A and B are shown apart, each in its own frame.
Chain A
Amino acid sequence: MAAVQTTSERALNKVAIISVLIVTIIFLAPIYWIVSTSFKPRNLATTVPPTIVFEPEISPFVKLTLRRSQLREQPTPEEYAAAPWWERLVFDGGEKIVRSGRGEVQLSGYPSRFVNSLIIAITSTVLAVAMGTFTAYGFSRFKMPGEQDWLFFILSTRMLPPVVVAIPMFLMYRAVGLNDTHVGLIILYTAFNLSFSVWLMKGFIDEIPKEYEEAALVDGYTRMEAFFKVVLPEAATGIAATAVFCFITAWNEYAFALIMTRRDAQTAPPFIPSQVGSGLPDWTVIASGTFLFLLPVAIFTFLLRNHLLRGMSFGAIRK
């Protein structure tokens, strides 16, 4: 900024600061609403007018993880007193926890979907980043006939609408029994993220001076050794950023998961909306599931903040 500011400039700056504050509040309001709804008792989730100030409780998270059913009759005082605190919270909400014959609590559908999401996102990320790093190094350091065309081909696979690819993949998976399996989704997400990982990693590897490897080659390293011992450590930050991006994409993916999975390998994105179903949905439970699901992404966004620009532009724009 200029050293000498006129009064009108200073006033303008104040207006800008206030506008930024308002914009920030508007942009964060929906996220605040998700978080706050996930700590509300059920009867406060859909009040008219909406409840903004309330006493937070964690009953939605209990209801999210355990199987429960409507309470037909009120629990007896003894039953209520004998119940652990988390079960009492569910009683207070007019529901009870379903127990097996031996009195064990059972998990709801959510935890297994969450674990599926973790398994599929992590495995596909590791595969996509590993293959992507090798390929990026190959394109970055060696001459390849038709290099630009190959890179365009790789990027174009990312741009295909999921539903377009999903139709033949569904038929092929059905033929080989990969529908509704972890492996099936892992392959799809790896293929989907691979092109992104190649493009992003190529940008990072291009920035590593090739003199480093040349020095290692002169010292008697083979090209392979130079790659693993010199290039990979230098590219560590880039690999981490690429991995987080791939993880977030796989974690958030909806269309493939909706089409390719039903139950066993279903991930959280198609499962969470399916809870709404018919009748009156319990928004506190949906919110708590949403909150837990969005939390890792929010944390990663903070860790990734300096690389967002690069990742979002496929490595084309660097700061």
Chain B
Amino acid sequence: MTTLTMTRLDPQSRAARRGMSDISIRNLFIIPTILFLIIFNIFPLLYSLYYSFTDFRASTNAPANWVGLANYRELLNDPFIWTNFTITAKYVIVSVAGQVVVGFGVAMLLNRDIPFKGLITTLLLLPMMLSMAVVGLFWKLLYDPSFGIINYVLGLGRFEWLSDPDMALYAVAITDIWMWSPFVMLLSLAGLSAVPKHLYEAAAIDRAGPLYTFFRITLPLVAPILMIAIIFRTMEAFKTFDIAYIMTSQPTTEMIAIRLYKMAFQEWQTGMSCAFAYIVLIMVVAITNIYVKYLNKVKER
């Protein structure tokens, strides 16, 4: 990233005397946004940091009692919370891996002479633009064991997708893969189209096999952009709420965000949920850090 600096105005010029100074324009343009974000993002987080050390329950009028680190201690020793983390990890791995395989695969297919390529690409991108909540709801109809189209087309009879505790998480992941493979595809296509053609020509002259070409030319050159897609999708999958919350209520699909929501707004354990939120927050900031480093790396290329 480069910082652009403009030629300074001649302080004696008419324009400089009439208008505001560059510094005050910069402050006028930037500071309100930063203040706005501090008030509506950082201040609430400080507010909940305080509550995370109390036994406050928002459903009662009882005053909050300071309990120190008790909430954090209890959460980190709670085996059920670790179950939620395990479920989330499993979901992240399945759905991100699925998205990378499908998304990258389709991008490889599209990276050739395909008629109506532009139109097809746009149509394939449609799922990721739609509302996760509403799409998740509709997939319940598609998954229905008796009248769902999925069982009919695949000839699975009365296969239970969402009411089988072992299957539900995968069913949600499949929906997520359907929605977000296009994202991986979009980024992969950008990476693939940036691979210089002469590398392939050179490989062809050397009679390199397709596998060799793929692993030695295509994959290394697409890797940085693919990495961005993977980190971004990992972060989003880690935060998954809408789609899983709408599709099932199985304990086997209770991911961190859902547990957090239930703790805060159904069980009304406000203090405890604030502590939980902080644990999640630290993890998300860590992944975001990695993500931004990669973004800047790719930008510099």
Contacts and interface: CB of A to CB of B under 8 A. Distances in A.
Contacts of A142: 5-6, 22-23, 25-26
A301 B109 contact: no
Contact of B47 (A49, A168, A190, A227): A168
A27 to B, nearest CB: 5
B5 to A, nearest CB: 6
A2 B140 CA distance: 46
A154 B299 CA distance: 18
B106 interface: yes
A54 interface: no
A154 B37 contact: yes
Interface stretch (B79-87, B90-98, B162-170, B278-286): B278-286
A289 B277 CA distance: 34
B274 A163 contact: no
Interface in A102-145: 131-132, 134-135, 137-144
A272 interface: yes
B123 interface: yes
B261 interface: yes
B4 A206 contact: yes
B3 A147 contact: yes
Contact of A165 (B14, B44, B235, B287): B44
B37 A195 contact: yes
Contact of A164 (B47, B124, B260): B260
A290 B29 CA distance: 39
A165 B270 contact: no
Interface in A269-291: 269-270, 272-273, 276, 283, 286-287, 290
A220 B17 CA distance: 10
B51 A317 contact: no
Given A191-B40, A308-B125, A30 B47 contact: no
B156 interface: no
B243 to A, nearest CB: 9
Contact of A312 (B121, B146, B187): B187
Contacts of B9: 217, 223
A273 B235 contact: no
Contacts of A152: 289, 292
A222 B131 contact: no
A167 B26 contact: no
Given A161-B280, A298-B129, A194 B33 contact: yes
Contacts of B28: 134
Interface string A256-267: 000100000000
Given A24-B120, A191-B36, 6 more contacts: A33-B138, A132-B33, A142-B5, A206-B4, A214-B6, A214-B7
6 cross-chain pairs, A with B, having the tightest CB-CB distances, nearest first = A222-B19, A138-B29, A168-B44, A254-B133, A252-B131, A168-B48
13 contacts: A48-B147, A132-B33, A138-B29, A138-B30, A154-B37, A167-B260, A169-B40, A170-B265, A171-B58, A171-B270, A252-B130, A269-B134, A309-B187
